[in-house]
Amino acid sequence: MKKVVKFGGSSLASAEQFKKVGAIIKADPARRFVVPSAPGKRYDGDTKVTDLLYACYEKAVNGEEFSDFFQKIQDRYNEIINGLGIALSLEKEFSTIKNQFENQAGRDYAASRGEFLNGIVMAAYLGFEFIDAADVICFNENGEFESEKTDQKLKASLEGKEHVVIPGFYGAKPDGTIQTFSRGGSDVTGSIVAKAILADVYENWTDVSGFLVADPRIIKDSKVIETITYRELRELSYMGATVLHEDAIFPVRKEGIPIHILNTNAPQDPGTLIVESTCRVPKYTITGIAGKKGFASISIDKDMMNSEIGFGRKVLQVFEENEIAFEHMPSGIDTMTVFVHQDEFEQKEQKIISGIHRAVHPDYMELESDLALIAVVGRGMRATRGTAARIFSALAHARINVKMIDQGSSELNVIIGVKNNDFEDAIKAIYDIFVTTQI
């Protein structure tokens, strides 16, 4: 068994947290490839090391004195090192980094040092070999990730190695300039390493016990999703559920490697397993509920719309020309409705309306704002009769008016449009009917 284990910032925020991580790694000999983030927040209101680095570099670029600020970063690492009681000094690295800040080595370079330094500490603490991500994670001159080249380099450098630490979040361009992924990108590094070594599983350790069925800000003590497919996860993350960086799915998915989301602070919890496909039946028919507020809808009516060839294309072209992406497009015989993000749409509203008038000469048009979309996602819906009926009777009982219904052809999700101020109640009603009443 080979496992890649990635630990997020809050899992590595202090010496105490490092010790938990050490115990987790020691508990399973398959946990041989470790990808750490930079130290995150220790408590509410604390600042992540990555944010300290960005701010400190900003000072350096503006020609301001930054030594005092940099000292805060040094203190964070020294506190961890002292708390772990290891014989390690980062003084040489600190002074190189300060020099590089003075030479304006780049924002990405600055941010990446959080993971770089944490990788060195982690390797020393565990007695593992340290491999600099700059030597194995490749970007091209334009800053785009190079998956083939990276895969080859990683395979070559990890060949025959027993225990390795590779810092997350960054790599390098061909000329050696440091480049980072977008924020939260250590998740992506973990996935890339898992793919290269063909790991049995990619464990992603964080500060929650997996994906929740619904947003905990709306549903207190929401149940955890035990198993979810990549496709379901895509639907839920698109609709706002976040635990994992979106791009972390793709490398492992190609190789059919599952991702296991686990909690550093409660390692005994089963967590969430993300898989390509599974015959495990979801516990509650639905896998999860997610949603977003802030949509507007543009409804267009025209007699005989259904027989007018190219009608939909002409309407959508108006949105395209105004660079507005559409989210959903339910339609009837003589009507079609386009859902868009309200804040983007508002600025271009009048241009789009006149554009549609000119393009398709509608009989009637109506705009509605302050709408929310809710996605009810679940592979289990395909095999279960009455799911839609349960959703809509729950909403009716909660006195919520449904503005729009859209069921994907895969039967994996049902999208429901409601007014923004019905959003929370709608999610509660759906959660209750599928989860609370099933317990």
* Residue numbers at the binding site for ligand ASP (CB under 6 A): 9, 37-38, 48, 50, 114, 168-169, 183-187
- Distance from C-alpha of 146 to C-alpha of 272, rounded to nearest angstrom: 29
* Residue 80, both tokens: 């961890």
CB of 44 to ligand ASP, least distance (A): 16
Using the minimum distance from each CB to ligand ASP, give the nearer residue, 203 or 422: 203
373 closest CA partner among 409, 426, 320, 334: 426
CB of 258 to ligand ASP, least distance (A): 20
Using the minimum distance from each CB to ligand ASP, give the nearer residue, 20 or 428: 20
User: For 212, which DSSP code?
Assistant: B
User: For 139, which DSSP code?
Assistant: B
Using the minimum distance from each CB to ligand ASP, give the nearer residue, 132 or 327: 132
Using the minimum distance from each CB to ligand ASP, give the nearer residue, 180 or 285: 180
Using the minimum distance from each CB to ligand ASP, give the nearer residue, 76 or 379: 76
CB of 170 to ligand ASP, least distance (A): 9
CB of 247 to ligand ASP, least distance (A): 11
- Distance from C-alpha of 210 to C-alpha of 155, rounded to nearest angstrom: 30
- Distance from C-alpha of 327 to C-alpha of 335, rounded to nearest angstrom: 17
Using the minimum distance from each CB to ligand ASP, give the nearer residue, 185 or 380: 185
How far is CA 297 from each of CA 67, 345, 401, rounded to the nearest angstrom?
A: 52, 10, 15
How far is CA 248 from each of CA 12, 149, 183, rounded to the nearest angstrom?
A: 20, 18, 12
- Shortest-Cβ-distance residue relative to ligand ASP: 186
- Distance from C-alpha of 190 to C-alpha of 35, rounded to nearest angstrom: 6
CB of 132 to ligand ASP, least distance (A): 16
CB of 228 to ligand ASP, least distance (A): 21
430 closest CA partner among 366, 372, 363: 372
**E-strand stretches of 8-131:** 31-36, 129-130
